[in-house]
Amino acid sequence: MIRKPLLAACVAGLLALTAACGSGDGGGKESGETALTYLVFETPSLDAKFWDDSITAASAQTPGVKINKIVAPSTDRDGYAKQLQQSGQFPDLLQSITPSNFVGAGLLKPYDKTWIDANFLLPSANSLKGEVYIPPTNSQIVPQVYYNKQLFQQAGIEKAPTTWAEFLDACAKLKAKNINPIELGGADPFAASMPLVGIVSADILGKNKNWLQDRYADKVKFADADMVTAVNKYRTLVTSGYFDKGALGVKYADSITRFTTGKSAMYPMGSWFLGSVPKDTADNFGSFPWPTDNGDVVVPFVGGGSMAISAKAKDTALAEKFGQAWSLNPANLKALIETDGAFPMIKGKTLKDYNVTVTKVFEDSYAYVGQDNNKVSAIGWATNDDALPAGLNDAFYAAAQALFTKDDVAGELKKLDEAWKTAAQ
Amino acid sequence: MEDRRAVRKRNSGERGLALLAALALGLYVVFLVLPLLLSLRSSFTNENPLKAQNDFIGFANYTEMAGDDQLKASLTFTLILAFGVTIAANALGVGFALLLNRTSLSYRVMRTVAFLPQVLSGVIVAFVWQTILTQNGLLNTALVKIGLLDEPYPWLGSPHAALFSIGLVVTWVMSGFTTVVYLAALQSIPLELHDMASLDGVRGTQRFRKITWPMLAPGTTISVTISLITVLKLYDIITVLTGGGPANSTQSTALYIVKLAFTSDRVGYASAVAMLLLGLSALVALTVTGVLRRREVSL
């Protein structure tokens, strides 16, 4: 007799418990304000204070909004956004995600094109099928090669290399002087892939800007001869001993310290490294684009820097207003320029307008953005139409790590084609 | 009167037990059985929440597994790690338990220290070991300084060394658990047996072989089975230490499942691999338990 009510009570309790677990979306109306959730990620440069200050400033320009910050547990905000989506907690605003991962399911709302065109130097730098889901407030070059002028001098290298032959010559001279030529933070997959990103962007996309679109159309393959030849250059660097033998055990953060303290002469890395150049020795560092066979300048380029809006946000118009306010806030740009090496892309503004203190190497690197040169999508980093299919970045990183120890270039590239086929299904 | 009171008391006790059992059963159903069934259902679909697809595809995911080289590599790595760690952690557990099977305060303190790795979160343990094992870590610094190495060794940066390093860390963690299990088993051995052995002149390794080791059999069953299952589903320590690298060489099957679901968005296929891991864990656990139980029975 009594067992049934007891069992019912237990079930009711459990249902209440599960309901309570599922209701914490952190959104809704709060004292006349609309609460929106905003997914951010923290790095040593973009710390909690940066996000809090930027949220406060943008909120002040967006009456009626209350932002509930969600911090991704790692810098993989795409992965975390997917987890939140699957648990029914997709954020209303998402900082620096890869829109192509989410647009297919109708999860993102594009920004107003008129506003984009009116405010940004390269309005379509980050566009996806003609729509812009993340305002191109700033840009990055991924990678540039940073070098230590003093170590170059010690090795008798007079100028930064522009051709592949000069680059190999510089590496040989450095090695002969017992200086580690190239720094690699190979323990972090994204950092391990930097030389490969440079080679593929320069040698393949530099010659065919539409290579990634052609790959989507199945007109080209990773296993094609030109790609194999290009990737073999990476093997040349490895087998010649131009990286530290234990580079796959070096964490990204340690690789920065090793390079800035003179343990290696060159460092291929995204331009966010400029935020880590020590101020007191900044003049000792220079940069050059990844060298090509004939010395042509190819700039692997990425536009973005702001947030995407969930199509299912509680108030998409208000979310867009907040995104716009955040994107144009000069204080955010100042912090991004100084700490994250971001190249600002807002119309009608120069570096001076942001009241920033930047190094000579920053100015030299930034110059490539303004110059009329061959800008291509940085493979694996672009978040526009040239973004890789979901999961391909991981495969690309794994190939970069595998080719550090294995000679099978054709085999690794074939694996990428297979991964592409699966991802594109 | 007294009979009625006794009946009421017994009924009340039964009601309490029923309540506790219902709660436990409810939690088990909601948090284990239901997700398991949902996962099983998903394993027969091409579910991809970011392509808004969720169609029934029969056994396609299961047949795809046969040709999945990454899955084979992850299973091989996971099985090597599971059996390697289980053997090492249990050997260490027996050794530590024999050393710490004393009653003085200092030994009790040392028991707590031995159990400490098991209490710490896997993420914290992995972060601590990462500072030791990275290229510029404490281990390399010390070995280079005392002249045992000419240059830092990539403990986490080469596939074989990374497998060894992860094995070392997980063994360290698991040995806390195995030590406690074997200590409990040691303390359950009747003292009379040891006394009789002493009278018969049985000492040292012979006593361990003839009395202690056979009497540890129930503890061995528990310790080996739980060690195996724990390592078969290992995720946190590997994620922090190597992230599955270099080049996916230390990617456990659990890590592969998470990557499939949340990086490649292939939830259906990830569910099928999860089912495979569940089946494999069950098979290994049942086989090992069966074999070790027979040893208990034969005592």
Over the stretch A366-424, which tens digit does the pLDDT of each residue have?
A: 999 989 999 999 999 999 999 999 889 999 999 999 999 999 999 999 999 999 998 88
Cβ–Cβ of B264/A390 closer than 8 Å?
Answer: yes
- Residue B26: which of A11, A254, A402 has the nearest Cβ? A11
Q: What average pLDDT does chain B have?
A: 90
Does residue A357 belong to any structural domain of this protein?
Answer: no
Model confidence pLDDT, tens digit, residues B238-287:
999 999 989 999 999 999 999 999 889 999 999 999 999 999 999 999 99
CATH code at A158?
A: 3.40.190.10
Do B135 and A263 contact (CB within 8 A), yes or no?
A: no
pLDDT band at A2 (very low <50, low <70, confident <90, very high): very low
- Residue A391: which of B69, B157, B264 has the nearest Cβ? B264
Q: Lowest-pLDDT range, A194-203, B110-119, B290-299?
A: B290-299
Helix (H) or strand (E) holding B26: helix B2-28
Model confidence pLDDT, tens digit, residues A294-337:
999 999 999 988 999 999 999 999 999 999 999 999 999 999 99
> In terms of C-beta density within 10 A (0-12 exposed, 13-18 middle, 19 or more buried), how is residue B207 classed?
middle
Cβ–Cβ of A105/B49 closer than 8 Å?
Answer: yes
Does residue A19 belong to any structural domain of this protein?
Answer: no
Q: What average pLDDT does chain A have?
A: 91
Residue for token pair 């969720």: B54
- Residue B30: which of A14, A104, A402 has the nearest Cβ? A14
Cβ–Cβ of A10/B156 closer than 8 Å?
Answer: no
Cβ–Cβ of A101/B151 closer than 8 Å?
Answer: no
Cβ–Cβ of A82/B156 closer than 8 Å?
Answer: no
Q: Is the pLDDT confidence value at B66 over 50?
A: yes
Are residue A153 and residue A244 in the same domain, yes or no?
Answer: yes
Rounded to 10 deg, the angle between the A316-328 and A330-340 helix axes is: 60
Model confidence pLDDT, tens digit, residues A220-236:
999 999 999 999 999 99
Are residue A43 and residue A145 in the same domain, yes or no?
Answer: no
B99 is written with which tokens? 């050393």
Angle at A127 between CA A125 and CA A133, to 5 degrees: 115
Cβ–Cβ of A246/B157 closer than 8 Å?
Answer: yes
pLDDT at position A16: 45
Distance CA B166, CA B160 (A): 10
Q: Is the pLDDT confidence value at A35 over 80?
A: yes
Q: ipTM, 2 decimals?
A: 0.81
CA distance B44 to chain A (A): 16
Mean local confidence (pLDDT), B131-152:
93
B154 touches chain A (CB under 8 A): yes
Distance CA A424, CA A125 (A): 23
B267 touches chain A (CB under 8 A): yes
CA distance B58 to chain A (A): 17
Cα radius of gyration (chain B): 24
Q: A175-195: buried (b, 16+ CB within 10 Å) or exposed (e) per residue?
A: beeebbbbbbbbbbbbbbbbb
A197 is written with which tokens? 């990103």
Measured CA distances, A39 to A25, A140, A313 (Å)? 12, 21, 13
Are residue A298 and residue A417 in the same domain, yes or no?
Answer: yes
Cβ-Cβ contacts under 8 Å, A7 against chain B? 18, 22
Using a pLDDT cut of 70, give the percent of chain A over it.
93
- Residue B27: which of A14, A105, A106 has the nearest Cβ? A14
Q: Is the pLDDT confidence value at A27 over 70?
A: no
Concatenate the DSSP letters of all residues of A125-176 into one string.
Answer: TTEETTEESS---EEEES-EEEEEHHHHHHTT--S---BHHHHHHHHHHHHH
Domain of residue A170: give its range: 141-302+362-424
pLDDT at position B298: 55
Distance CA A245, CA B154 (A): 8
Using a pLDDT cut of 90, give the percent of chain A over it.
83
Cβ-Cβ contacts under 8 Å, A189 against chain B? 243, 245
Cβ-Cβ contacts under 8 Å, A251 against chain B? 130, 134-135
pLDDT at position A205: 97
pLDDT at position B231: 96
Does residue A354 belong to any structural domain of this protein?
Answer: no
Distance CA A99, CA A112 (A): 16
pLDDT band at B53 (very low <50, low <70, confident <90, very high): confident
Concatenate the DSSP letters of all residues of B168-226 into one string.
Answer: HHHHHHHHHHHHHHHHHHHHTS-HHHHHHHHHTT--HHHHIIIIIHHHTHHHHHHHHHH
Are residue A252 and residue A156 in the same domain, yes or no?
Answer: yes
Angle at B3 between CA B2 and CA B9, to 5 degrees: 90
Mean local confidence (pLDDT), A53-65:
95
Cβ-Cβ contacts under 8 Å, B51 against chain A? 104-105
- Residue B134: which of A102, A187, A404 has the nearest Cβ? A187
pLDDT at position B2: 58
Distance CA A44, CA A65 (A): 28
pLDDT band at A17 (very low <50, low <70, confident <90, very high): very low
Are residue A196 and residue A265 in the same domain, yes or no?
Answer: yes
Q: In A341-389, where does DSSP find H-type helix?
A: 360-370
pLDDT at position A28: 54
Between B298 and A381, the more confident residue is A381
The domain total for chain A is 2
Model confidence pLDDT, tens digit, residues B203-228:
778 888 888 888 899 999 999 999 99
Nearest to A285 by CA among A140, A151, A139: A151
Are residue A262 and residue A406 in the same domain, yes or no?
Answer: yes
Domain assignments of chain B as residue spans, ordered by start: 1-32, 43-297
Distance CA B212, CA B232 (A): 29
Does residue A350 belong to any structural domain of this protein?
Answer: no
- Residue A251: which of B52, B134, B159 has the nearest Cβ? B134
A273 is written with which tokens? 């490294």
**3 state DSSP class of A276:** helix
Does residue A2 belong to any structural domain of this protein?
Answer: no
Q: How far from chain centre, in Å, is Cα B250?
A: 17
Are residue A205 and residue A331 in the same domain, yes or no?
Answer: no
Q: Which residues pair with A376 in a beta bridge?
A: A300
Between A155 and B208, the more confident residue is A155
**Per-range mean pLDDT, top range of A303-307, B164-168, B289-293:** B164-168
* Chain B nearest-CA residue for A250: B135
- 3.40.309.10, 3.20.20.100, 1.10.3720.10, 3.90.1170.50: CATH of B43-297: 1.10.3720.10
Are residue A101 and residue A236 in the same domain, yes or no?
Answer: no
pLDDT at position B79: 96
Are residue A327 and residue A193 in the same domain, yes or no?
Answer: no
Are residue A147 and residue A287 in the same domain, yes or no?
Answer: yes
Distance CA A142, CA A160 (A): 18
Does residue A318 belong to any structural domain of this protein?
Answer: yes
Residue for token pair 């400033």: A57
CA distance A379 to chain B (A): 17
Are residue A248 and residue A175 in the same domain, yes or no?
Answer: yes
Are residue A173 and residue A277 in the same domain, yes or no?
Answer: yes
Angle at A232 between CA A228 and CA A233, to 5 degrees: 130
B242 touches chain A (CB under 8 A): yes
Mean local confidence (pLDDT), B130-138:
91
